[in-house]
Amino acid sequence: MTCVLVVDDNAMNLELVTDVLELEGFEVVSAATGEEGVELVRQKPPDLVLMDLRMPGISGLEALEIIRADGFTTLPVVVLTASVMKGERERLLELGFDGFMQKPIDPGTFAQEVASFIKG
Ligand SMILES: [Mg+2]
């Protein structure tokens, strides 16, 4: 079963994303902070990480940097953010994220889009 780790400090978003992905047959593990997300990757690397950017403690970008420094260089880490600043998407992809998804999510297409970021 494909395992997705969702890292987000917003409990409602975490629940929505988890429900939508589980309905589509994904196994979902969730973390409310970047620190917790990093720890979960170390314990059991998922097939993909969905990463919020702004969280208390380390940011999603800092969590990505730690995950990469830990040697998880091919693990897809996709941003899931409400941020819509111009040029933000390109900047985040340049900084090493594998994909960019925007909140609010569209439950009808979300799981399929997530799956598209997982390398065969
Ligand atoms: Mg947040």
Q: What is the side-by-side order of every strand in the sheet holding 3-7?
A: 27-31, 3-7, 48-51, 77-81, 99-102
Q: Which fold has domain 3-116?
A: Rossmann fold (3.40.50)
86: tokens are 């111009």
Ion ligand 1: residue ranges with CB closer than 5 A: 9, 52, 54-55
Digit-coded pLDDT (tens) for 37-60: 999 999 999 999 999 999 999 999
Average pLDDT of span 77-93: 91
Is the CB of residue 5 less than 8 Å from the CB of residue 47? no
Residue 31 C-alpha to ligand 1 middle, in angstroms? 12
- Residue 120 pLDDT exceeds 70: no
